[in-house]
Structure 1
Amino acid sequence: MTTQEKSRKEERVDEFEQISAEEQQAILEKYDIESNVRTVTGVMKHIIFFGLLAFSLFQLYTAIFGQFPAQIQRTIHLGFGLTLIFLLFPARKKAPKHKVAWFDYLLALLSIAVGSYWSMNYTELVNRNGSITQIDFIVGLIAVVLVLEAARRAVGLPITIIAIAFLIYAYYGPYFPAFMAHRGQDLESIVNLMYFTTDGIFGTPISVSATFIFVFLLFGAFLVKTGVGQYFNDLAVALAGKLIGGPAKVAVFSSALQGTISGSSVANVVTSGSYTIPMMKKLGYRKEFAGAVEAAASTGGQLMPPIMGAAAFLMVEFIGRGITYWDIAKAAAIPALLYFTGIWIMTHFEAKRVGLRGLRDDQMPNRQEVFKKIYLLLPIVAIVVLMLTGTPVMHAALYGIIISIGVAMFNKETRLKPKDVIEALVEGARTALGVVAATACAGIIVGVVVKTGLGLSLANSLVALAGGSIILTLIFVMIASLILGMGAPTTANYVITSTIAAPAIVALLSPNTPQELVPIVVLLSAHFFVFYFGIIADITPPVALAAFAASGISGGDPIKTGVNSAKLAIAAFIIPYMIVFSPALLMIDTTIPQILWVVFTAITGMVAIGAGVIGYWYRKLYWFERIIVIAAGLLLIYPEKFSDWAGLAIFIVMFVIQFLSHKKGNQNDNTGLTV
């Protein structure tokens, strides 16, 4: 990069990037509980550093040379996670962050004991075959308490409260209403289930955390070290900056790219929003709208393959039936494309309505220089290609790490030194701590649901409440998923909604069918439905963490930002219904012509809905025109031939009217007449 190019880039940063690193961290700590960590010094700083490094090295060792037995692999993983959480995360937000509280040392020591207990007593515990001693009971009880407290600190109060409620339900089963009642479990049985089986804390969620998720988080940390995060912003500006309403489209594009490596909506907002939101404000967007664009786009990043906020790996294990990670990523592709297309359309019409331009030439990066660095995206492309060719997921992630290090060697600015590699290993482990706590706590919920049969009871109750109506059932499941997803990170969010809410859709679409005989497309539809609504809880008031974080950058009103976010993400409220009614979107058991037709009608419908919601197309829409185009959009989205053709006919008529009136208006303007 020449001196002139560096100077030009610095001028652009000075003009737009008004959020300092300290302000970004403050916003993260306020809205993203996983970022609220201690900044200790001295000996303890080095202990934590080497603890995180050891965590990554252990995970890499087992990823390369093979896993230990399930109980040992998962308990060591949990032990590392709990110990580091109590050393890094204070008990209260306002607690001193420069030192570790005395009781946290005690909790860390107990975490080490809990994490090593299975390793030291493996043969004896296996031989007992579920029978536990008094000391086993005490260790197991301590483990449950530690997991709940760690989840509260590193993930948030909502999932902890839900887990405690499920434990209470397990114990007091006979006292619940008839449709939920069960014979109840004594304390010893609960502890045995949670710590000494692979159905509780050490169940499927933490199994995925201890294998696939951790290695992919390391992959993301290495990508960040190569500068790919900043490159996403530069590439987005180069491609979309000069378009109508360019800054908003830059936010949509960069957030979609950030979502490929990010596991947090809030972190995505702060990372790309610190650059895009000031850019949007400077060029005329309202504070609330600027924040809403970034919040909606960043939240959509959790829906974007290949990572999907780590939920993709959980989905493989939860659905089972021989489904592969590639099946999940492929199924997620079109819905994610439709989501971002919907936001893009809405921002385009808003920009036209307000009359906002794109960036000036002097505000644009040097496109030639930006495109020269396109090689930084090679690791992400390599991951997709490797999995497409059948490479095991964990091996694909390992190869991705190696490729990212190799790709960084192409340029002196991105070349990784040994210190950078070590820092990436440490940062990857730190990022994983919230996932460890979330999946361990989610295991408590899953364990209770499996043991008591609560999932099936709730599913049947929801279907009965809806009177067997598919629309009503889906609406009830949507509301439940939005509530359950409030304030929960992606991994925990998906585990909770898929365990509690998804069975209702399965029960409705495949009544009285054993799980092993339910069609794959039905399972995928149900899981994607609850996954989408759980995720968009991040932008749905009143608990819209991503929108609130964006308002912290924009200076706008948090609730108004949340409302605007939900409006911009209207596609996210429609796509899940489309998936259930038209599973061709998931590219499972369908043909290419069917897929193309569904995508065409869906995008056309979103154009109509976007114009109706914003109130502008080629010109301002009258109130009755807004109703007509929204109706046309809904007809196009509903997957029936009659509705598609009816919606398309209305769309074409409204398009012609809009185009001709716009053209006439331009001619009148040219002759000096007003309209």
Structure 2
Amino acid sequence: MSAYHMVVAYIGTPMSDFHYPVHVFFALVVLFLASAASSRDKLTGWRRTASTLWDVLMVIISVAATAYLFLDPHYPGNRFTYVQALTPLEIILGTGLIIGLLDAARRTVGWVLVVVLLVFILYAIFGNHLPGALNHNGFSYQRVLEQSYLTQDGIWNQPIAVTANYIFIFVLLGSLLLSSGAGSFFTDLATAMTRKAMGGPAKTAVVASTFMGMLSGSSPANVVTTGSFTIPAMRKAGYRKEFAAGVEATASTGGQLTPPIMGAAAFLMVEFANIPYVEVMRVAIVPAALYFIAIYTMVHLEAHRLGLRPPVDTDGTTAIEILRQRGYLILSIVVMIALLWQGYTPTMAGFWAVISLLGLIVVLDPEVRGRFVHVVIDAMDHAPRIIAPITTACAIGGIIAGIIIMTGLGVRMAEIILSVSGGRVFLALFLTMVVAVIMGMGMPTASAYIVLAVLLAPGLTEMGVSVVAAHLFIIYCAAKSSITPPVAVASYAAAAIAGSNAWTTSLVAFKLGISAFLIPYMFVYGPGLLTYGPPLEVVRTIFTAVIGITALSIAVIGWLRYTLGVITRLVFLASSITLIYATWQTDLVGLALFGACVVAIEMKHRRGALAG
């Protein structure tokens, strides 16, 4: 699968009716075979036999249903869509492929996405019996199946196109970086940068997760990769296990939002918002920086509140030495960004980034060069395992998006948002945030984004929110479900490493990541955070946003020089909320509240010091 996508990236993408089914064929076969191998040792007797037979059936169905299309890729385009009846074989293969996708989703992301797809299929068939805004003419099962299986408005919709054309090559780059030692490189670099800082291990977690987030858009994967090192270090430094796990979960969740290699939803945004990926990276830089500034500030304040001093022994390899030894690993990312800025497609930029990394390994790293073949094979094996669940989620998301368009539900949802919110943008944003968080709890961020981009983004843009801000707002809100109770997969992964209570860890992570619910409102009301507008306006917006995020961090932790009272914390909170609106008037109010609190705290601290 990796070799196929590398060849395609170099020679150019084949026709979609061939390329997309081949991609799904690879993904499903990899997923079912990997799942069968992992479950083989867990089952015995007839259960093991039944599981094996089902896995074989799923592989056969996946191969047959996709091969029917890619062996004759001109057929879907030549048939009379919605006029020519489906053959019995097409009904069997199409139904089988949907069952295969549902089973793949059940194995990888749980039952929620399965239930959501089944609900939408039932809605398409029986929606003519529903009242009010949900009512539509109703469609037969064969009509739904034809759209899902034999047109570009179902499984082979934009989400699969993005997965096959863009996401895989970036996942392969990230896998190659990790297999060649980038994980330990970034962890060592983060440790060197924060070793002498107050509460260093927690700051190491934030910095390391920031670096890792640039390679992997998966929150649980980031937790497992960096958390196995940072969580025990935080516990040893004196942090509570729930706080240590919460820091790691919150920091790792930011990986989906951090350029240059963001989560799958960011690549989908390229298609849904119709903007280049380099533009997505550019607008995401400042919001991602604000997110990590907020977490870093909270960790810093918590360290001071607990009185955690830097370790006495702070000797070790310096950041400069680490960069000198293994800094070449960053160069491939620089190559990718440079090519994107020069106008190359994401696919070609990712391809040459992979090639440049392979070349740098051969020339500059004798240790990795000695196991070069193993490193390459490991990366080529790991990337398909990562992309398979994403492909499944995107295929199901494509079916749902097609049903939403077919039934006209998207248009009606936009009308409902306009009606319920009464034209008030803030209320519309809040309703969108609630729906996004709820949907993100039960499915991957990419799947939630696909549905919400079709359902809710049009309503926001009709109210005057820019297309880029509306789509990025949805991504932020859906991504935060990773740390939002009751279903918080990143928090659960961190809790397992720390040995802490999963629910308590989720609450701590939610508190530490609360800035993620504020930042989207900031860039909607202040386009300067997305680097849109005159330079002076951009600078002012970024400056006030940093103050606002700092004020929110102080309010959440409740410490600055000393433990703060409820009134002071509320004033800091009011300051942060006031700074959401990017106008001179509200900024002056927010800065005045922040400044007054800081001055009062400093004066009280000095009086206490003098009295002491």
Q: Same fold (TM over 0.5)?
A: yes
Aligned 1:161-240 pairs, distance under 5 A: 161-240=115-194
Offset of 1:134 from its aligned partner? 2.5
Q: Partners of 2:57 and 2:565 in 1: how far apart?
A: 67
SS at match of 1:475: helix
Aligned 1:320-359 pairs, distance under 5 A: 320=274, 323-359=275-311
**Aligned partners of 2:186 and 2:208 also within 8 Å:** yes
Any idea what the Cα deviations from partners look like across 1:361-415, whole Å, max 9, x if unmatched? 3564444532322222111222122211222211110111012112223122232
**Aligned partners of 2:148 and 2:399 also within 8 Å:** yes
**Aligned partners of 1:487 and 1:545 also within 8 Å:** no
Q: 1:662 corresponds to which residue?
A: 605
Within the candidate set 300, 323, 331, 1:371 is matched to: 323
Q: 1:378 to 1:568 in 2, by over 3 A?
A: same
| Counterpart residue type for residue 63 of structure 2 | I
Aligned 1:528-607 pairs, distance under 5 A: 528-588=472-532, 590-607=533-550
**Aligned partners of 2:30 and 2:384 also within 8 Å:** no
Q: 1:657 to 1:124 in 2, by over 3 A?
A: closer
Q: Partners of 2:507 and 2:315 in 1: how far apart?
A: 31
Aligned 1:442-481 pairs, distance under 5 A: 442-481=397-436
* Match status 1:420 vs 2:375: yes
Q: 1:609 corresponds to which residue?
A: 552
**Aligned partners of 2:249 and 2:509 also within 8 Å:** yes
Q: Which segment is superposed worse, 242-251 or 627-636? A: 627-636
SS at match of 1:414: helix
**Aligned partners of 1:90 and 1:97 also within 8 Å:** no
Offset of 1:91 from its aligned partner? 11
SS at match of 2:554: helix
Q: Partners of 1:592 and 1:269 in 2: how far apart?
A: 37
Q: 1:619 corresponds to which residue?
A: 562
Offset of 1:350 from its aligned partner? 1.0
**Aligned partners of 2:195 and 2:314 also within 8 Å:** no
Offset of 1:119 from its aligned partner? 2.5
Q: Partners of 1:448 and 1:360 in 2: how far apart?
A: 62
Q: Partners of 1:283 and 1:124 in 2: how far apart?
A: 64
| Counterpart residue type for residue 284 of structure 2 | A
Q: 1:639 corresponds to which residue?
A: 582
| CA RMSD in angstroms, aligned pairs only | 1.9
Q: Partners of 1:486 and 1:551 in 2: how far apart?
A: 17
Q: 1:80 corresponds to which residue?
A: 26
Q: Which segment is superposed worse, 625-634 or 226-235? A: 625-634
Q: Partners of 1:314 and 1:239 in 2: how far apart?
A: 34
Offset of 1:650 from its aligned partner? 2.2
Offset of 1:109 from its aligned partner? 1.3
SS at match of 1:541: coil
Any idea what the Cα deviations from partners look like across 1:317-356, whole Å, max 9, x if unmatched? 1112xx2111111111111011111111111111111111
Q: 1:497 to 1:363 in 2, by over 3 A?
A: farther
* Match status 1:316 vs 2:273: no
**Aligned partners of 2:196 and 2:314 also within 8 Å:** no
Q: Partners of 1:625 and 1:441 in 2: how far apart?
A: 48
Q: 1:125 to 1:472 in 2, by over 3 A?
A: closer
**Aligned partners of 2:492 and 2:502 also within 8 Å:** yes
SS at match of 1:122: coil
Q: 1:650 to 1:123 in 2, by over 3 A?
A: closer
**Aligned partners of 2:112 and 2:443 also within 8 Å:** yes
**Aligned partners of 1:226 and 1:404 also within 8 Å:** no
Q: 1:123 to 1:566 in 2, by over 3 A?
A: closer
Q: 1:411 to 1:95 in 2, by over 3 A?
A: closer
**Aligned partners of 1:263 and 1:490 also within 8 Å:** no
**Aligned partners of 1:155 and 1:437 also within 8 Å:** no
Q: 1:374 to 1:120 in 2, by over 3 A?
A: closer
Q: 1:3 corresponds to which residue?
A: none
SS at match of 1:261: coil
| Counterpart residue type for residue 570 of structure 2 | I
Q: 2:35 corresponds to which residue?
A: 89
Q: 1:91 to 1:234 in 2, by over 3 A?
A: closer
| Counterpart residue type for residue 591 of structure 2 | L
Task: Report the count of equivalent residues.
Answer: 601
Q: Partners of 1:377 and 1:126 in 2: how far apart?
A: 44
Any idea what the Cα deviations from partners look like across 1:47-85, whole Å, max 9, x if unmatched? xxxxxxxx1111122111122211111111111112222
Q: 1:119 to 1:615 in 2, by over 3 A?
A: closer
Q: TM-score, normalised by structure 2?
A: 0.94
Q: Partners of 1:244 and 1:604 in 2: how far apart?
A: 21
Q: Partners of 2:522 and 2:590 in 1: how far apart?
A: 15
Any idea what the Cα deviations from partners look like across 1:10-46, whole Å, max 9, x if unmatched? xxxxxxxxxxxxxxxxxxxxxxxxxxxxxxxxxxxxx
Q: Partners of 1:125 and 1:544 in 2: how far apart?
A: 41
Q: Which segment is superposed worse, 471-480 or 267-276? A: 471-480
Q: 1:653 corresponds to which residue?
A: 596
Q: Partners of 1:263 and 1:182 in 2: how far apart?
A: 38
* Match status 1:394 vs 2:338: no
SS at match of 1:182: coil
Offset of 1:97 from its aligned partner? 6.8
Q: Partners of 2:337 and 2:536 in 1: how far apart?
A: 24
Q: 2:12 corresponds to which residue?
A: 66
Any idea what the Cα deviations from partners look like across 1:131-172, whole Å, max 9, x if unmatched? 232222222221222111112212322212111111111111
**Aligned partners of 1:497 and 1:534 also within 8 Å:** no
Q: Partners of 1:460 and 1:301 in 2: how far apart?
A: 34
**Aligned partners of 2:298 and 2:557 also within 8 Å:** yes
| Counterpart residue type for residue 178 of structure 1 | G
Q: Partners of 1:454 and 1:93 in 2: how far apart?
A: 40
Q: 1:408 corresponds to which residue?
A: 361
| Counterpart residue type for residue 360 of structure 2 | V
Percent of aligned pairs sharing the same letter: 37
Q: Which segment is superposed worse, 352-361 or 242-251? A: 352-361
Q: TM-score, normalised by structure 1?
A: 0.86
Q: 2:453 corresponds to which residue?
A: 498
Q: Partners of 2:271 and 2:278 in 1: how far apart?
A: 13
Offset of 1:647 from its aligned partner? 1.6
| Counterpart residue type for residue 283 of structure 2 | A
Q: Partners of 2:41 and 2:519 in 1: how far apart?
A: 43
Q: Partners of 1:390 and 1:593 in 2: how far apart?
A: 27
| Counterpart residue type for residue 506 of structure 1 | T
Which structure 1 segments of 5+ residues have no match?
Answer: 1-54, 510-520
Q: Partners of 1:122 and 1:297 in 2: how far apart?
A: 44
Q: 1:47 corresponds to which residue?
A: none
Q: 1:260 corresponds to which residue?
A: 214
Q: Partners of 1:94 and 1:606 in 2: how far apart?
A: 49
Offset of 1:538 from its aligned partner? 0.6
